[in-house]
Structures are given as C-alpha cells and as structure tokens.
Amino acid sequence: MAPSLCFRTFILQFMLLVFSILNTSLHASEPPLTLEYYASACPNLFEIVKKEMECAVLSDPRNAALIVRLHFHDCFVQGCDGSVLLDDTITLTGEKKASPNIHSLKGFRIIDRIKNNLESECPGIVSCADILTIAARDAVILVGGPYWDVPLGRKDSITASPELAEANLPTANEGLATIISKFLYQGLSVTDMVALSGAHTIGMARCENVRARIYGGDFEATSGSNPLSQSYLSSLKSTCPPVRGVGDNNITAMDYVTPDLFDNSFYHLLLKGEGLLSSDQEMYSSLLGIQTKQLVKQYAADPVAFFQQFSDSMVKLGNITNQDSFATGEVRKSCRFVNT
Ligand code: HEM
Ligand SMILES: *[C@@H]1O[C@H](CO)[C@@H](O)[C@H](O)[C@H]1NC(C)=O
Ligand SMILES: *[C@@H]1O[C@H](CO)[C@@H](O)[C@H](O)[C@H]1NC(C)=O
C-alpha cells in the first residue's frame, strides 16, 4: 500500500506542475468578457432566457440539471464556445456521441427554444455559448441555488472536438488524482473542483455509471473500498440490474434526499459515504484527498460558503475560453450548425 500511495502522490505533484505551466499559455490575451456585452444590442436578453428556463424547469426540474451539465461539458472542450451543441453533419463530427456524452447529455431543445426567441428579438447578436452560460445560471437559481453575474462576449466555435471530449471530461470511474488534474488543466483549482461537483446535488445518473459502485467486483469499481449502506444499496439494485447492457439508461438521483433542490445535501451524503458516483465519494474517502475532504466537510457544515464558492467557480468555469473561438468564432444562427 505504502509504495503505491507515494507513487501516486508523486504523479499528482508532477501533474500539478505540468498543468500549472500549461495553464499560463492557455489563457493568454483574450478579449475580456463583460457584464454589459449585449446591453445595447439585446437589452431583453436576460428576460428572454429567464422566461424560457422558468417554463423548462417548471415542467421538469431535471431540466435544470441538464442545462448545468451541458454548460460544463461545453467549457471543458475547447473552452465555452458552444461546441457541445453542434450536431453531426457530413463535414463536422460533433461531441454528442463522445463517450461521456452519448445517451447522457440532454436539454438541447431548451437551448434551441431560447435561441429561436432571441433570433426574433435581436437576430445574429447573442452567441450560443453565452446563451448556455446564462441558462445554466438561471437553472441553478430556479432550483434554489445562488445568483451570480454572468460575464458575456463568448463566440461560437466553427469546430467541435469529440477527441477532446473523450480526453478532457472527467468520468465516474476515474481516481481523484486524474480528476483533479483535469480541472487543473482547465485552470480550475481543487477548491473549484469540489465546489462545482456540488452541482450533483441535482440531477440523475444512469446505471451504466454506477453499476461498479453498486456491485463492485466484476464491474471494476475504482473505489470498492467505500461501500454503500445496505438500505441505499438495495434500492439502487432494484433500479440497476447487475448485468452489463441491461437497464444501462435507467436513472437514479445523485442526491436522493433532495433530488430537485440545489442545496448542500450532496456533501452530507459524502460524509455518510453515500455519494452515488464513485468519483464523488473519492473526494471525501480517498487517502489522497486530504484537501478535498476538508472542503467537503466545510461545504456540508456551511451552505453559505458553498453557495459563495459555487458562484465564483461557475464564473471561472464560464471564463474558460480559447484564442481560436475569438479569432475564428461566430454567432451561430442555429446552435446546432455553424453558419454557412
Ligand atoms: C468532478 C468531476 C465530475 C464527474 C466525474 C462527473 C460525472 C458525472 C456523471 C457520470 C453523471 C451522470 C451522467 C449519466 O449517467 O448520464 C453526471 C451528471 C451530472 N453532472 Fe457531473 N461530473 C463531474 C463534475 C460536474 C460539474 C463540474 C458539473 C457542473 C458544474 C456537473 C454537473 C452535473 C449534473 C447537473 C448532472 C446531472 C445531469 C442529469 O440529470 O442528466 N458535473 N456527472
Ligand atoms: C472572469 O473573467 C472576467 C472578464 O474576463 C474577469 O473580470 C473576472 O475576474 C474573471 N473571474 C474569475 C473568477 O476568473
Ligand atoms: C429500470 O428501472 C425500473 C424502475 O426503477 C425497473 O422497474 C426496471 O426493471 C429497470 N429496468 C431494468 C432493465 O431493470
């Protein structure tokens, strides 16, 4: 145990170093985002996004989770540039079929509806990347989470990258060190990682992503060492049968206590060892997670601190941009296709 722990710690330190060097070049000299970006060209922007999000979340609170996750999966791939929204065409392969996204990302029609409304109100003005960023903020508010101001002025990409979607997005069976390194690579800290994971206080996971956590062994859990309580396990087993490919898309809430409420209940579950995703439980239970464990305890004890950090970290997430999207980017007419 001891040598492998040391080795993993060494690898982590090394990755921290490499990524902190990479980061400086990833975020160089971009035009800054501003709060007033559309103030004169589309004064009703915020009202229009809010109205559509209200309808969506009222009809199904899960829609809030879908939009928040869409924004996250957009920003971790080429920066927040609407690349995740692009459909496959003859000339472009989008990100929707990449393994972290397929059968899993949803909510695209909500973004289409907002975009349609905005094209009637102020055609060609508001980027899909900005729409998604505002919609994610509104989604959080509508299920009880904090408000924050959203800096704007992103451009939509004319490319997508299924390869970067595979490489950059964290998955439920990855270890803590790998996930931390993926956040550092984006210029986000361990604190951002723990706070942003608090988004799992809403929304659902599919059986495919939790089978290893439920049954371990044959399904190769990375953290079979964090067993779930018997009562929680038996309820999960009734939703997710122990057979690969059977009921893969059956879903279960990540926060079974208050699944539709944006609160800090997610962290309380981690304290009890009942994080649904193995990757989430690792933040509290991993031997490597001294700092993450401390943060989990803090956010469980102090919901205001969680809301404050979550807001700040969402702004940082939304700030991930790349040179390309400003140089070659556009404001798409349809979020699903680049302009012709
Ligand atoms: C820290 C690493 C993360 C990992 C490993 C991870 C992994 C996952 C997985 C496996 C699911 C279930 C997907 C499915 O089964 O279809 C999920 C759902 C979700 N994730 Fe994450 N996630 C992470 C971070 C984040 C962040 C930073 C956010 C947003 C700020 C986020 C927001 C969500 C939301 C809202 C859902 C529920 C979506 C729904 O109801 O369909 N996640 N995540
Ligand atoms: C995000 O970007 C805006 C403008 O580009 C900047 O003013 C703000 O300080 C950044 N916020 C964070 C948390 O990085
Ligand atoms: C999916 O879940 C439902 C309800 O939780 C359950 O009745 C059904 O049997 C599950 N599907 C499979 C294939 O087990």
Q: Where in the chain is the domain with CATH 1.10.420.10?
A: 176-315
pTM of the model: 0.92
In this predicted structure, what is the pLDDT of residue 165?
98
171 conformational bin, left if phi > 0, alpha if psi -120 to 50, beta if neither = beta
* 168 touches ligand 2 (CB under 6 Å): no
Q: How confident is the model at residue 20 (pLDDT cuts 50, 70, 90)?
A: very low
Contacts of 337 (CB under 8 A, 6+ apart): 86, 87, 89
Assign 10 a pLDDT band (cuts: 50, 70, 90).
Answer: very low
As a whole-number percent, the residues of the chain with pLDDT over 90 amount to 84
Q: Which ligand is located closest to the Cα atom of residue 248?
A: 3
Q: Which CATH class is domain 45-168+317-328?
A: mainly alpha
Closest CA to 205 of 178, 236, 181, 175: 236
The tens digit of pLDDT for each residue in 32-53 reads 999 999 999 999 999 999 999 9
Is residue 73 annotated as a catalytic residue, yes or no? yes
| Distance linking the first and last C-alpha atoms of the chain | 57
Residue 273 token pair: 């060892």
Hey, which residues does 252 pair with through a beta bridge?
205
Q: Is 258 annotated as a binding residue?
A: yes
**pLDDT > 60? residue 336:** yes
Helix (H) / strand (E) element for 206: namely: strand 204-206
Cite the residue boundaries of each domain of the chain with CATH code 1.10.520.10. 45-168+317-328
Residue 300 reports pLDDT greater than 70: yes
Distance from C-alpha of 176 to C-alpha of 296, rounded to nearest angstrom: 14
Active-site residue, from 27, 71, 73, 103: 73
Residue 334 has pLDDT above 60, yes or no: yes
Of ligand 1's listed atoms, the one at least distance from the Cα of 207 is 15
* Distance from Cα 69 to the centre of ligand 1, integer Å: 6
Does the domain at residues 176-315 carry the CATH identifier 1.10.3260.10? no
Q: Is 123 annotated in some ligand binding site?
A: no
What mean pLDDT comes out for the span 13-23?
48
Q: Does 192 show up as a binding residue in the annotation? A: no
Identify the pLDDT of residue 299.
99
Q: Ligand nearest 240 Cα, by number? A: 3
Segment 182-211, tens digit of pLDDT = 999 999 999 999 999 999 999 999 999 999
Confidence of residue 225 (pLDDT cuts 50, 70, 90): low
pLDDT at residue number 102: 98
